[in-house]
Structures are given as structure tokens and as C-alpha cells.
Amino acid sequence: MTDTMRYIDHGRGGPPSCMIVRQSPLPKPQKGEVLIDVAFAGVNRPDLLQRQGLYPPPAGASPVLGLEVSGTVAAAHPDVTGWQVGDPVTALVPGGGYAEFCTVPAAHCLPIPAGLTLAEAATLPENYFTVWSNVFERGKLQAGENFLVHGGAGGIGYSAIQLAKAFGAKVFTTVAGAGQIAAARQLGADVVLDYTARDWACEISGMVGRRGLDCILDFVGGSYIQKNINLLARNGRLVQIAFLQGSKGELDLMPVLTKSLTITGSMLRPKSIEEKAAIAGALREKVWPLFAQKKLRVLISAVFDLAETKKAHELMEAWAHIGKIVLKVRG
């Protein structure tokens, strides 16, 4: 094994052009960690925010971009059990994914689901850790309920559509354009609305009437917050995972009282090692088998070499992709 590795350095941050390939020594796995020889890394919107200086890594995390990887275990701390050198894995990492090697708590690693390639497996952790912990643990989505996820063509959105359908919910989603509409329908969404062409809130209200929506997963915020609240059924749950339109605004919260609503949400990266390990365990038991059963599949929009990370970020910033964007790191 080499002593040095390539990684993406974004310096002090800025536009995509600030990212360049540099060399550094390999990180060493600490207590409870493994070292992964990274084959592929998923690209996620938080990577863009960190590059811009808007999403700093938590204390102790690598400052290198990248929150999910796939590859093989290259080394492990002596106290690690359950993984051996050479094991193929996919993992949620606290940072450092845009590199040829990265360290990660062993408890945050998962096996490659049956039938998936390493490239496909690199797209899973950020999506499914987020969707499971927010929609099913915090949002408590149940079979037979009405579920709305905004942005159904992105990584979080298309994962939420499939997982909600697999567990028996009726799925509504908002997307932009004919290509995204077709993709969302192919993934199993029951109702797909183009938010650029129609008043999605009025459309859904007309469909569900007083029945309402039981659970909503939203990353838009801003003007969507009030619309989401108004659409919720009695005992409905609004789960907020980001605020692309902003987190501030004037709201009428009376429906929260009159309909006994729950407004909740969480961010994945600040969760403790133990919390993430618990989510990994739930995914391994309840979600990973669904890939072998062909109830879940992966959509990859584009794959770029590590040296082309600038292009990967530009594509994500253009909002033109359907599915996930992946970096080919090695191989």
C-alpha cells in the first residue's frame, strides 16, 4: 500500500474552480476505525455548501470534502471486529471522501447490497441514512399514509420515493420538467407535480381534500413551510432537512395547534458516532435486503474522474441532473 494519496483540496473555498488535486500522507485509522481504499465517492449538496464556506465540518472530522464512499477495507485498528482487510464496503464518512483513502468509524460501514456495483453503492449512505432517520424514525411514516417529498428527482428525493413505496405509503412528489416527471413516475411515485408549471399546493389540496398529507419531507423551506403546514392532516408530521429558500419567514402556526401537528427535522453530519451506528444497523436489517428484492434501485446521472470534480459540482449547481453524481476515485 502506498504512503501517499491524491485528494481534492478546496483551499479557502469559493467557486468550483477552487478545487485542485493534491498529494498528502495516508490517514491512519484510530480506535474503532477502518481505512477505506476509495473506489467511488458520492457528490452531495452539502459538499457544495462546505466548498463555499457555508457548512464547516464538525470537530475532529477531515476538512476534505466528501460524505460517502465505496471501496475496500485497506486497514483497521486492532480493536475493530466485523470487518477484514479486503472487504468491499460502502460507508457514511464525516469528511474525507474526495480522496483515495479515508478513515471512518467501522460501525458506519455497510456491505455492498446484492447486485450493486461499487459505483452504485457509493450513492447510498447519505441518501438512505438521511431518509430512514428523518422519514421513518422522526416522521414515523406508516403503510397506507399519504407522503410528500419535494425534489423527487434528486438523490434524497428518489430514495424517499422508493423507500416510502416499499413500506406501503402513497407517494406525492414535486419535480421540474418532463425528464424529472418521467423519472419520478418510473420510481413509483403515485402523484408527480411540476412545480415550475403548476401550483403544487393547490393541486395536492384538490386531490387529498380534508384527508390531507400525513408526512412531508422538505429541504426547500421559505414559502414552502406554510404550504406544507396547511396540507398536513391531523397528527401530520413536517420533517425539515434543509432550507434552500431560507429558514426565516412569517408563519401562521395555528394549524399546528388545531391539527396537533409535529414539526421536526435533523441534520445527519452532527449526529454522534453512536446515533449513526444505530441508523446503519437499521438500514442493514430493514433496507439493504430490499435491493436484492428489486424494490430499490439506483439512478446515476453522471460519473466523473477525481480530477474532474469541478465539473461534478458545476453539474449539481445547474440543477439539471436526475439521480446521483459520482466521482471515480481509483480503478
Output the domain CATH number for residue 151.
3.90.180.10
pLDDT at 2: 85
pLDDT at 249: 86
Other CB atoms within 10 Å distance of the CB of residue 328? 18
- Statement to judge: residues 235 and 142 lie in one domain: yes
In a domain, 285, yes or no: no
Cα–Cα distance, 45 to 157 (Å, whole number): 13
- Statement to judge: residues 258 and 144 lie in one domain: yes
pLDDT at 209: 92
> Domain range holding 323?
4-123+298-328
In a domain, 36, yes or no: yes
pTM to 2 decimal places = 0.96
pLDDT at 320: 83
Task: Tell me the residue length of the chain.
Answer: 331
In a domain, 225, yes or no: yes
Cα–Cα distance, 171 to 73 (Å, whole number): 37
| Positive/negative CA dihedral, 317, 320, 323, 324 | negative
| Mean pLDDT of successive 10-residue stretches along the chain, which has 331 residues | 94 97 97 98 97 93 97 98 97 98 98 97 98 98 98 95 98 96 96 96 96 97 97 98 93 97 95 97 98 96 98 95 95 68
- Statement to judge: residues 137 and 243 lie in one domain: yes
Chain centroid, CA 101 distance in Å: 21
Chain centroid, CA 116 distance in Å: 18
- Please list, in sequence order, all residues whose beta carbon lies within 8 angstroms of the beta carbon of residue 49, skipping any fewer than 6 positions away: 55
Cα–Cα distance, 272 to 22 (Å, whole number): 30
Cα–Cα distance, 100 to 79 (Å, whole number): 24
Chain centroid, CA 46 distance in Å: 9
pLDDT at 49: 96
pLDDT at 219: 95
pLDDT at 204: 98
- Please list, in sequence order, all residues whose beta carbon lies within 8 angstroms of the beta carbon of residue 121, skipping any fewer than 6 positions away: 40, 70, 88, 90, 112, 113
**Amino acid occupying residue 281:** G
pLDDT at 1: 75
In a domain, 48, yes or no: yes
- Statement to judge: residues 32 and 96 lie in one domain: yes
